[in-house]
Amino acid sequence: MAETISSTEDDATPTPMSVEEVIEGSLGKMTWNQILQAVFACIPPIFDNQQTLISVFTDAQPAWYCTNTNILNCNSYSNICSLPRADWNWVANKNRTIISDWDLECASSFIKGLPATCYFVGCLLTGFLVASLGDTSLGRKNLLLFSCLTMSLAALASGFAPSFWWYCVLRFICGAGRVSITISSFVLLSEKVGKRWRGQIVLLGFISLTLGILSLTGIAYFTRTSSWRALYIWTSTPGILYSVMIHFCLFESPRWLFLQGRQNEAVSVLKRIGTLSHLSSVLARNMFKIEQSNVNPFSSMRVIAKKRWAIQRLLVTMVLSFGVGMMYFGMFLGVGSLGPNIYLSSIYNSLIFLVSSLLSYLFWIQRVNRRSSILGFCTVSGATGIVSIIAGHDQKGIRVGLELTALFCACMVFNILFIYTVELFPTCVRNTAVSLSRQALLFASVFVPVLVVIGRRNELFGHTVFGVTIIVCGLLVLSLPETRGKVLCDTMEEQEVTAKDCGLCGCI
Domain count, the chain: 2
323/289 same-domain check: no
Which DSSP category does 307 fall into? Answer: -
pLDDT at 87 over 90: no
Q: Is residue 7 part of a domain?
A: no
Q: What does the alpha-carbon distance between residue 352 and residue 347 come to, in Å, rounded to a whole number?
A: 9
Range of the domain at 394: 301-508
Indicate the pLDDT class of residue 98, thresholds 50, 70 and 90.
very high
Pair 357, 391 in one domain: yes
| 179 in the same domain as 35 | yes
State which of 255, 273, 297 marks the end of a domain.
Answer: 297
Q: Which of 203-207, 273-277, 310-314, 432-436 comes out lowest in average pLDDT?
A: 273-277
Is the domain of 305 the same as that of 293?
A: no
Residue 505 has pLDDT above 50, yes or no: no
| Residue 488's CATH number | 1.20.1250.20
Residue 201 backbone class (left: φ over 0; alpha: ψ -120 to 50; beta: rest): alpha
Q: Is residue 438 part of a domain?
A: yes
- DSSP one-letter code for 226: S
User: How far is residue 68 CA from its own chain's centroid?
Assistant: 47
| Residue finishing a domain among 297, 327, 345 | 297
With CA atoms as reference, report the closest residue to 231 among 92, 63, 97. Answer: 97
Task: Give residue 424's pLDDT.
Answer: 86
User: What does R_g of the chain's alpha carbons equal in angstroms?
Assistant: 26
Q: Which long-range contacts (CB under 8 A, 24 or more apart) does 354-360 make?
A: 354/206, 354/207, 354/210, 355/408, 356/408, 356/411, 356/412, 356/414, 356/415, 357/203, 357/206, 357/207, 357/209, 357/210, 357/411, 357/415, 358/203, 359/412, 360/412, 360/415, 360/416
CB 344 within 8 A of CB 465: no
Least confident of 66-80, 137-151, 291-305, 465-479: 291-305
pTM, entire model: 0.76
Instruction: Name the phi and psi angles at 54, rounded to 5.
Output: -65, -25
Beta-strand pair 88-90/288-289? unpaired
pLDDT, residue 8, reads 45
Identify the band that residue 296 occupies on the pLDDT scale cut at 50, 70 and 90.
Answer: low
Question: What Cα–Cα distance (Å) separates residue 90 from each residue in 65, 118, 162?
Answer: 6, 27, 22
Q: pLDDT, tens digit, for every residue of 265-289?
A: 777 777 777 665 545 555 555 545 5
Q: CA 192 to CA 172: how far, in whole Å?
A: 32
122 and 206 in a single domain? The answer is: yes
Residues 29-78: pLDDT tens digits?
A: 777 787 888 888 889 989 999 998 898 889 888 888 887 766 666 766 67
Residue 65 — φ and ψ, nearest 5°? -145, 160
The pLDDT assigned to 450 comes to 78
* Of 245, 265, 297, the domain-final residue: 297
Alpha carbons 180 and 144: distance in angstroms, whole number? 7
> Is 267 found in the same domain as 133?
yes
CB 137 within 8 A of CB 296: no
Secondary structure (DSSP) of 425-478: S-HHHHHHHHHHHHHHHHHHHHHHHHHHHHHTT-HHHHHHHHHHHHHHHHHGGG
Collapsing DSSP to helix, strand or coil, 87 comes out as: helix
> Which letter does DSSP use for residue 144 in this model?
H
Same domain, 360 and 473: yes
pLDDT higher than 50, residue 367? yes
Ramachandran region, residue 230 (left: φ > 0; alpha: ψ -120 to 50; beta: rest): alpha
The answer to whether residues 234 and 344 belong to one domain is: no
Residue 10 belongs to some domain of the structure: no
Q: Identify the band that residue 233 occupies on the pLDDT scale cut at 50, 70 and 90.
A: very high
Task: Tell whether 291 and 266 lie within a shared domain.
Answer: yes
Range picked from 110-114, 278-282, 300-304, 378-382 for highest mean pLDDT = 378-382
**How far apart (Å, rounded) are the C-alpha atoms in residues 109 and 350?**
26
* Domain co-membership, 361 together with 293: no
CA distances from 386 to 185, 269, 306, 327, 390 (A): 35, 52, 40, 11, 7
What percent of the chain is modeled with pLDDT above 90?
21
364/282 same-domain check: no
How many angstroms separate the CA atoms of 482 and 484, rounded?
A: 6
CA 125 – CA 496 distance, rounded (Å): 33
Whether 443 is covered by a domain: the verdict is yes
Instruction: For residue range 154-199, list pLDDT tens digits in order.
Output: 999 999 999 999 999 999 999 998 877 877 787 777 777 766 666 6
Which residues have CB under 8 Å from 166's CB, separation 6+?
none
CA angle 322, 326, 329 (to 5 degrees): 120
For residues 292 and 437, state if they share a domain. Answer: no
